Amino acid sequence: MEAEAPQHWGARPVGDGRWSVAIWSPDATEAAVIVGDGAPQAMAKGADGTFRAEIAAEADTPYRLAIDGQTLPDPASRRQRDTVHGPSLLTLPRRVQDGWTGRPWCEAVISEIHIGTFTTEGTFAAAARRLPDLVALGINTVEVMPIAQFAGNRGWGYDGVLPHAVHPAYGTPGDFADFVTAAHGLGMSVILDVVYNHFGPEGAYLGGVTPAFFDANRTTPWGPAIDFTQGPVREFFIANAIMWIAEFGVDGLRLDAVHQLQDPSTPEFLKALSQRLRALDLHRPLHLIAEDERNLPDHRDDGVTDAQWNDDYHHSLHCLLTGEDEGYYAPFAVDPMADLAVALTEGHVAQGTPRNDRADTRGAPSGHLPPEAFVNANQTHDQIGNRALGERLIALAGPEAMRVAHGLLLTAPFVPMLFQGEEIGARTPFPFFCDFEGDLADIVRKGRLEEFSAFGGFGGDLPDPMALSTFTDARPYDTPPDDADDWRALTRRLLDWRRSHVVPLLHSGQTGADVWIIGPRALRVCWRFETGDLNCVVQLGQAVPPDLWGGDATGLRLGAPEDNFAFCTWIETR
């Protein structure tokens, strides 16, 4: 059981209707807690720079903090009465106890979902009611985009400012706990996306009252960098991770942009976080997935993380199918088929050596990692939403090509991830949206226009990120495509085959992989395992000789060798 760390943040119940309240603010001279409409109650400053006080109040009572005369919500608030600017509410911890024992990571088939657009209602309760539709197709894991409270009602979630509070537009903390319980009852794992590298632009009061929280010598693309060398700063985020895992019962975390979690300490923050989480008495597997543009295998080698989003796979496939070469696609547009071949056999494409005159030298060799160390996707919220119009790949490459890409993604040995609606062939866009007002709204609009200057092909109108319609038009299930049933059947067929044939191989362990490029737009792959070989032929715009196709009753085929877009996969047992 996790030992309770010294309190630097938030409000904890201590029994008999009393609460211990704390905030680390080493540069402040005085602090107080204001309960309801009462008078400020002074907080005592400790030698560690933490102000603490004990108060008497019922659960759900509003409270605020006052630091050197500035009144603010608790930065570690578990729940707000209304907006990110309003009072916090004294909130009792909870613990999901549903008997769930989890599942091995290598079996995961993920759907990335955004609670606000996953259903018309945009709530945890409504999302829970939709989960059986995913389970019926063979999807066994949901990765929930960030739910920490942010300014306004609408947003992707990466502008959160109260990491411990559930965004109220989605429901209460209890509603999220019920969502997790519902998923577990269906046999689904829940991964939660968390952002520990920055705060959003509105409602982040920490910079004003605790400047020591941030590194004065460094910034990120999204604002001030966080100083992880400070113990209370580490504890702020480690306590957050423990809350989601131990109290709400989520099965793992997707850690946003960990390359920005720069920390010279020993152990570094991410390793310390992993150690604390893995020391919990969970009785179920814990999964830690990183987004890390450095392409380094170290964290996975050392067991700090279990897997990493593999954007190299996406970029290679995207360039092959669309011909796009602007911005970050440029290095992958030189020879996308060769890059795809590397991604399918070694995981990352960028491995520390230059591939072409457009590529840098980031990364290190990754071919020794098991396939479950990579989360592959044909599209994610990033790759769709960071386009000017938010188009899905199916709108750019066409359904014929995407059926083959779908087959490859869902039957290859890597952990596959779909983006909400992809399993039904959704064409609805997922553009960037938020809910700011005034000058901040204008700054965001201007920033989005400047962002797309790197993509020379964009010349149309940009959807207004603040418009309600930009948000509502991103709901994939409100307007399913005419061929949705065909896509459901395809997804179910592919995942049935994966469960029956690929998963047993994964449990036996991979021993190697070979790839043959058999034309400008076709390749064959063989992944070798202890108990057999997994083979596939992928045709993304080119027919191949029939003798290249293998398999018998155990094989799965989409189309035929003479088709430009076709796919075949089969097992050769030992």
Q: 226 among the known binding-site residues?
A: no
Among residues 521, 441, 432, 430, the alpha carbon closest in space to that of 476 is found at 430
Left if phi > 0, otherwise alpha if psi is -120 to 50, otherwise beta: which for 45? Answer: beta
Torsion angle, alpha carbons of 371, 372, 377, 382, to 10 = -120
Q: 325 among the known binding-site residues?
A: no
Instruction: Using DSSP, state whether 321 is helix, strand or coil.
Output: helix
Q: 259 among the known binding-site residues?
A: yes
CA dist 369 and 385 (Å) reads 30
Q: Quick check: is 291 catalytic?
A: yes
List, in order, residues 6 or more apart from 519 with CB less than 8 Å away.
542, 544
Q: 282 among the known binding-site residues?
A: no
How far CA 191 is from CA of 133, 146, 251, 356, 417, in Å, comes to 18, 10, 6, 36, 12
Q: Which tokens belong to 183?
A: 């998923």
Q: Which tokens belong to 99?
A: 């008997």
Instruction: Using DSSP, state whether 528 is helix, strand or coil.
Output: strand
Q: 318 among the known binding-site residues?
A: no
Q: 406 among the known binding-site residues?
A: no
Q: 164 among the known binding-site residues?
A: no
Q: 315 among the known binding-site residues?
A: yes
CA dist 52 and 54 (Å) reads 7
What are the φ and ψ backbone dihedral angles of 108, each rounded to 5 degrees? Answer: -65, 135
Q: 535 among the known binding-site residues?
A: no
- Burial class for 351, CB neighbours closer than 10 Å (0-12, 13-18, 19+): buried
What are the φ and ψ backbone dihedral angles of 412, each rounded to 5 degrees? Answer: -70, 160
List, in order, residues 6 or more apart from 79 with CB less than 8 Å away.
88, 89, 91, 165, 166, 168, 172, 173
Q: Which one of the listed residues 159, 202, 251, 291 is annotated catalytic?
A: 291
Q: Which one of the listed residues 256, 306, 423, 435 is annotated catalytic?
A: 256
Q: 384 among the known binding-site residues?
A: yes
Q: 256 among the known binding-site residues?
A: yes
Q: 383 among the known binding-site residues?
A: yes
Q: Quick check: is 400 catalytic?
A: no
| Spatial contact of 569 and 533, defined as CB atoms under 8 Å apart | no
CA dist 22 and 27 (Å) reads 15
Q: 385 among the known binding-site residues?
A: yes
Catalytically active residues, by annotation = 256, 291
Which residues define the annotated binding site for substrate?
Answer: 254-259, 311-315, 381-386
Which residues define the annotated binding site?
Answer: 254-259, 311-315, 381-386
